[in-house]
């Protein structure tokens, strides 16, 4: 399920059927603890 950033319509399409704007995936990316393990000097 995707969401339009302009009119907040939910759809399965890459482009909003209501206003024609590109849609985004509203769910956050999965947590990856490897991203947090870096050496800071």
Tens of pLDDT, residues 9-35: 999 999 999 999 999 998 888 887 777
16: Cβ contacts below 8 Å, ≥ 6 apart:
4, 6, 7, 9, 22, 23
Residue 37 domain-assigned (yes or no): no
pLDDT value, residue 40: 55
Task: Check residue 31 and give its pLDDT.
Answer: 82
Residue 39 has pLDDT above 60, yes or no: no
Number of structural domains in the chain: 1
Q: State residue 41's pLDDT score.
A: 53
Answer whether residue 35 is part of any domain.
Answer: no
Residue 6 has a pLDDT of 93
Segments forming the whole domain that contains residue 6: 1-30
pTM of the model: 0.59
pLDDT at 28: 82
Asked if 6 contacts 18 with a C-beta cutoff of 8 angstroms, the reply is no
């Amino acid at each position: 399920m995707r969401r339009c950033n302009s009119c907040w319509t939910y759809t399965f399409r890459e482009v909003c059927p209501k206003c024609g704007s590109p849609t985004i995936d509203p769910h956050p990316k999965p947590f990856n603890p490897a991203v947090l393990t870096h050496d800071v000097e």
